[in-house]
A = this chain, B = another copy of it.
Amino acid sequence: LNPVVTLLTDFGLRDEYVGVMKGVILRICPAAQIVDLTHQVAPFQIGQAAVILRSSFRYFTAGTVHLVVVDPGVGTDRALLAAEADGHRFVAPDNGVLSLVLPAGAVRRVVRLDPSRFCRSVCSATFHGRDIMAPAAAHLARGLPLAELGSPMEPNPMPPAGWSPLRWDGKGRLAGSILWIDHFGNLVTNIGLEDMARLQPTGEERLVFTVGSHRIAGLSRTFAQVDAGRVVALIGSRGLLEVAVNRGDARRLLGVAQGDAVHVIKEEKT
């Protein structure tokens, strides 16, 4: 009835780029409900966008079209994709940004966008988000079948930059990094609950986390489990390990930055 289209970009909000894409979408699909996921992905940070998309898309109604414009590689030979999986639709560049929602082996359909099939006007050389990807998303929202947007293809299986699979560092430690730092200064890592499960702590053991020279013993359920101003490790709302400060800013308190290493070990409870 009111098809939903989400937007996820690194365009920021200073310019008219996002607003113009919405104009293009509404011209093709006037009933669309457009929702901004965020436009503050750090420029070209595909890994951050991939995690945000994975953490978000399931909260939307089935059939939602998710449009991701991060590092489309305009002027290179990078393909632009449309895909269906898990009852959701996606439009994005073939740069790995969909790799967490279209895992290898999943049931999915993917086409390489062919603008000649659905764009009436000439494309600019610089703004494919506006001229190719927004029209593709709008046509999907309006009901055009995926197959009419382009020809089937296999997406690039590369993981997004900044995202790394489970890794052991040879010292018995699970090694990850700070993927990004949220508005509150919470440190979002690339370590998932399922990764930590592989450490298989016994009832006599607990997990210990290190960020820089800081050490946090034990996994908490909520921020408020520690006193205000104290550091806490917990599984955040994205299903990923976060290091935070209750009612404070972990980035400032710990003096860390995006990309810094985070380690997990198990040790005996004392």
Instruction: Please report A residues at the B interface, Cβ cutoff 8 Å.
Output: 1-2, 4, 6, 8, 11-20, 22-24, 26-27, 30-31, 33-40, 43-44, 52, 55-56, 59-61, 64, 73-76, 124-127, 130, 182-184, 221-225, 234-237, 247, 249
Contact = CB atoms under 8 A, between A and B. Distances in A.
Contact of A13 (B13, B26, B31): B13
A247 B183 CA distance: 25
B16 A38 contact: yes
B6 A19 contact: yes
A interface SS class: loop
Contact of A247 (B8, B26, B44, B126): B44
Contact of A183 (B15, B184, B222): B15
A56 B23 contact: yes
Question: This chain: how many copies in the complex?
Answer: 3
Contact of A14 (B40, B76, B223): B40
Given A19-B35, A23-B35, A26-B35, 14 more contacts: A2-B31, A6-B19, A6-B23, A8-B16, A13-B36, A14-B183, A18-B36, A18-B38, A19-B37, A23-B59, A24-B59, A75-B223, A75-B225, A130-B237
Nearest to A3: B30
Contact of A12 (B2, B35, B183, B223): B183
Contacts of A130: 59, 237
B75 A224 contact: yes
A169 B13 CA distance: 35
Nearest to A31: B2
A126 B237 contact: yes
Contacts of A33: 26, 30
Given A13-B38, A56-B16, A61 B223 contact: no
A126 B236 contact: yes
B19 A56 contact: yes
Contact of A19 (B36, B44, B75): B36
B237 A124 contact: yes
Nearest to A41: B14
Contacts of A222: 74-75, 125-126
A37 B20 CA distance: 7
7 contacts: A12-B182, A13-B183, A14-B38, A16-B37, A26-B33, A26-B61, A27-B60
